[in-house]
Structure 1
Amino acid sequence: MRFLPLCVLILLSACQVSKRPNLAELYQQHGTDHSNTPLILIHGTMGSKLRLIESQEEVWPGKINQLIFSNYKNLANLIEPSGMALMASKIESYAIFDSYSGLSVYDEIIETLIEFGEYQLNVVNLPAMPGRNLYVFNYDWRQDNVHNAQVLAHYIDQVLIKHPGHTQVDVVAHSMGGLILRYYQRFGDKDVLTELNQIKNGNPYSKASVIRHAVFLGTPQLGTVKSVKRLQQGFDFNLRNIPVEVQITMPSVYQLLPHPDSQPVVNVDGNPMELNLYNVDFWQQNQWSIFNPAVEERIIKQATDEASGKAQVTTLKLFFEHQLARAELFWEALSPAYEVDHEGFIIMGGDCKKTLNKLIVERNGAAVKLNDDFKPDDAYEIRALHKSILFEPGDGQVSKSSLLGQIHDSNTHKTTKTIKIKYPVFVCEEHLKLTQNLTFQDNLLHVLLNE
């Protein structure tokens, strides 16, 4: 047996290239003159912990047995009898969902920013610290995105008051948090959904100048078809289902429905269908969601008496219709028609996981069924076709086209860009693990400290 001399082995090992970037070497004690800009991290849907205001008892995610076995009916918002608005909430967001039972969500990105970016974690009611300050904006993700944009506006004002030497902030927004940021950038703390026509020729509310860098991570810029199924069937979480009657009380779920122009519903050949998901009559005709007799029966059965149960169903139906209309206006407010001047978004996300992006219509007489998977009993050619129609690359939750805000018209083969992008960064990662991805962390630190 022949052995390489020790000196050769040393040389070979010295020449080996590390497959992982050294974040400490790259970013510690580095940065431009602007790298002390205050940084705000915004979580996505379900990304903050919720508790009862009066008792301080945590209701999301709660104890381990809740996460596994609860249907979380106590997360339902209370609705005014008119169905037009929510009652004052008895629940509040109080902390970011950092990690839970071994599941890392946001703790790793916070630790990376602190260790390698040399940020100091701060809160708005304490004085500013020397150097780089990191603030975590947590919000009640069940609420209307416009409402949460208003809360964000106040939060950013508080941060800038603490930093009189700065007129801008950097923002990193994950998932649905990016939609809240986009709305804030355009309209600040104003609810403009009922007055869009009045500001089409001039928007006096823009806050674009307040944002230095807007970094979006896994944000569904065109919504997601999975929200249709959430309103139809509830949300499967761990071993349980968070039922329809809980989901439909959350305005944010409606505002994650597919963009009205994104052609999310197709026939078996992949051709777009003219089905308006924002028309309440469509849901009612097909007995979906709150219009499903089984859901109505369940609500009435669980009420204190039949009369109050029926009244609750009526209120929920009115609320459902109102929220569909409001969600459609929300997407209109984020359309290019109301764009404001900004440097362009830095978009980061996954593009190597099979991701649901369309729903296939199956008709049974007058009834419509929306399929989100191919049928295993179909012929191979049909299964392959439907698989190619339903799915596209993404992060398993958000498709690449939604990440980029790009609508492709299958008839004209033209692509409409709905957002202004400075540049994109793609990683091979699933949605909930994006914040842990080293390539994302490397690129994020470069943006914040060197650009």
Structure 2
Amino acid sequence: MATLGGCAALGPGATPPLARIYGTTPLSGNHEPGPPLIFIPGAFGTTLQDGRRERWPSSTLKLLFSRYEDLAMAIDANGESASPEPLRPSGVMREGLGFDFYGRLLDALTQIGGYELVAAGSPPPSKRRALYVYTHDWRRDNPSLTPGLEQLIAQIRLDHGAPKLRVDMLGHSNGGVLAAWFVRYGVARPAAQGATIPVRPGRSTVGRLFLLGTPLRGTIQPVLAHLRGEEIGLRRIPPEVLATCPGPLQLFPHPDECWLIDREGNETAADLFDDETWRTYRWSIFAPQAQDRIVAQHGGGRAGRDYLERLERYFARQLRAGQAFMRALSQPAGPLEVPTYLFGGDCSPTLARLLLDTRGSYPRALERAPSKPRDIDYAAVMQEPGDTVVTRRSMTGQAQGLAPALARTPAMFLCAEHRTLSGEPVLLDNLLHALLRPTEFGHSAVGYHAVTSPSRARISANLSPMRR
């Protein structure tokens, strides 16, 4: 993937004047409506409610102090599946604890980009582009969410009176993973080992795909969450709650990725998707403290132990499902059937693998080098360029030692962390440019104009510019 430099920094804190660039030109969408856009939030990006009561995130106080044990999905008696009931998706996270989630992105699209946020089933705007948000239960596995996405597109076509209308699709983080699966396989689920999934051309429903900070080859962060709990505010969602949610397991590093090294810096043979690895190392729901909590919280005695056994069976099944999902997602697809554009951060050291420490009563997976490291540069072995959550390689679908899977895909990389990426002014500038000037892509000329905020942005492309 060729990387082009050459943008000049305008000084610390400089940001592109988006309203001036897009707000008074035909590109704003007020001139001629373009294709509808579906935005798919990432994990934790959709609010969840029980009836009229919001459970996620609920309130600032709950974000700070809750362990969110009410997010656990109900596992059936055989440990084969889990129900998301009674929680249902209800909206999109704009901000929380003083941090922007998707507020800046949505405001840029609607206040500057000429989009109008509408609900499916409502008449589309006549002079602006329609923007839809696919709110979904991010706890669930991605393939189970694709029928809802298909139904949304069908309703959009009905609302527009255009049975062959193709939409643009914008996905952030796991929302991008969901979008990539849908474009490739539609509503199909991962096949059993050795079987193949019929590829469904996405071009019939999706015109263009935009991916923001999307871990196409997974990320180590959900592994850490299953080891220590998901950090939310001042507390953590415990591993036994996360273990009921299959969605995060489909963000684990690809099965062929090195995810765990020994103290010599060598790759271990531990299989991330084999429950025996977790059981042997006594991690997650197999940790003694976690098992005591699980038994106590589910009636104690025989009832509690029965639930623990069901949870262990369920966790093993979902690990295998996550492995099948990631392998299918990374299968060579030949020429892309839907034009795809990548946006991400690559300036920050980003954890890509953990360090196995066998000292003590049971092994630990460390995210940092020991206090007295050996003559090994652990940081160089454990970290890669990325956005602090997703590595650059994962964003481009690049296996270790091979060329990027999306080598001919226009891509923009900038200095931004994962949690701030979707609201970065430079990203929004180039995203709006791409969305509002669809004919700009496909030209053989290479060049762009962008400002940095405050360091630099880069375009990687063999096909076309992001901004001229």
Look up the SS of the partner of 2:399 in the other structure.
strand
Contact 1:151–1:189 (Cα < 8 Å) also in 2: no
Partner residue of 1:386 out of 378, 384, 397: 378
Residues 423 and 378 of structure 1: CA distance in aligned 2, closer, same or farther (over 3 Å): same
Partner residue of 1:247 out of 242, 245, 248: 242
What is aligned with 1:226?
221
- Partners of 1:346 and 1:180 in 2: CA distance: 15
Larger radius of gyration: 1
- Partners of 2:362 and 2:343 in 1: CA distance: 39
Q: Output the amino acid matched with 2:129.
A: R
Contact 2:123–2:160 (Cα < 8 Å) also in 1: no
Q: Deviations over 1:290-346 (max 9, x none)?
A: 222221111112222412111110110000110011001101221224567424421
Contact 1:349–1:403 (Cα < 8 Å) also in 2: yes
What is aligned with 1:60?
56
Partner residue of 2:74 out of 69, 78, 90: 78
Residues 34 and 193 of structure 1: CA distance in aligned 2, closer, same or farther (over 3 Å): farther
Q: Output the amino acid matched with 2:151.
A: H
In structure 2, the gaps of 5 or more residues are 1-9, 439-468
Look up the SS of the partner of 2:251 in the other structure.
coil
Look up the SS of the partner of 1:84 in the other structure.
coil
More relative contact order in 1 or in 2 (CA 8 Å, sep 6+)?
2
Residues 419 and 327 of structure 1: CA distance in aligned 2, closer, same or farther (over 3 Å): farther
Q: Output the amino acid matched with 2:148.
A: V
- Partners of 2:32 and 2:265 in 1: CA distance: 48
| Residue 386 of structure 1: how far off its partner (Å) | 0.8
| Residue 30 of structure 1: how far off its partner (Å) | 2.4
Contact 2:229–2:239 (Cα < 8 Å) also in 1: yes
Q: Deviations over 1:25-82 (max 9, x none)?
A: 32233239986100111100000111113xx111111122211111000000001011
Contact 1:284–1:291 (Cα < 8 Å) also in 2: yes
Q: Output the amino acid matched with 1:160.
A: R
Identity across aligned pairs (percent)? 29
| Residue 192 of structure 1: how far off its partner (Å) | 4.1
Q: Deviations over 1:396-449 (max 9, x none)?
A: 1111111111122xxxxx324344652110111111111111111011111111
Question: 158-167 or 253-262: which moved more?
Answer: 158-167
What is aligned with 2:156?
159
Equivalent positions of 1:280-429 (< 5 A) are 280-337=275-332, 341-364=336-359, 368-378=363-373, 381-382=375-376, 385-408=377-400, 414-419=401-406, 421-429=408-416
Q: Output the amino acid matched with 2:134.
A: F
| Residue 177 of structure 1: how far off its partner (Å) | 0.4
- Partners of 1:22 and 1:441 in 2: CA distance: 11
What is aligned with 2:83?
87
RMSD, aligned CA: 2.4
TM-score normalized with structure 1 length:
0.88
- Partners of 2:319 and 2:154 in 1: CA distance: 31
What is aligned with 2:432?
445
Question: 387-396 or 253-262: which moved more?
Answer: 387-396
What is aligned with 1:12?
none
Q: Deviations over 1:180-224 (max 9, x none)?
A: 00111112122243387244xx53x33233222211001111111
The structure with the greater share of residues assigned to helix is 1
- Partners of 1:229 and 1:19 in 2: CA distance: 35
* Aligned length, in residue pairs: 423
Partner residue of 1:44 out of 33, 42, 61: 42
Question: 121-130 or 260-269: which moved more?
Answer: 260-269
- Partners of 1:30 and 1:416 in 2: CA distance: 39
Look up the SS of the partner of 1:347 in the other structure.
strand
Contact 2:397–2:405 (Cα < 8 Å) also in 1: yes
Contact 2:121–2:159 (Cα < 8 Å) also in 1: no
TM-score normalized with structure 2 length:
0.85
- Partners of 2:203 and 2:112 in 1: CA distance: 28
Residues 305 and 361 of structure 1: CA distance in aligned 2, closer, same or farther (over 3 Å): closer
Equivalent positions of 1:68-217 (< 5 A) are 68-87=64-83, 89-130=85-126, 131-165=128-162, 167-194=165-192, 197-199=195-197, 203=199, 205-217=200-212
- Partners of 2:169 and 2:358 in 1: CA distance: 45
Residues 77 and 299 of structure 1: CA distance in aligned 2, closer, same or farther (over 3 Å): same
Contact 1:119–1:132 (Cα < 8 Å) also in 2: yes
Equivalent positions of 1:255-294 (< 5 A) are 255-294=250-289
Question: 166-175 or 417-426: which moved more?
Answer: 417-426
What is aligned with 1:4?
none
What is aligned with 2:465?
none
Q: Output the amino acid matched with 2:41.
A: H
- Partners of 2:282 and 2:101 in 1: CA distance: 36
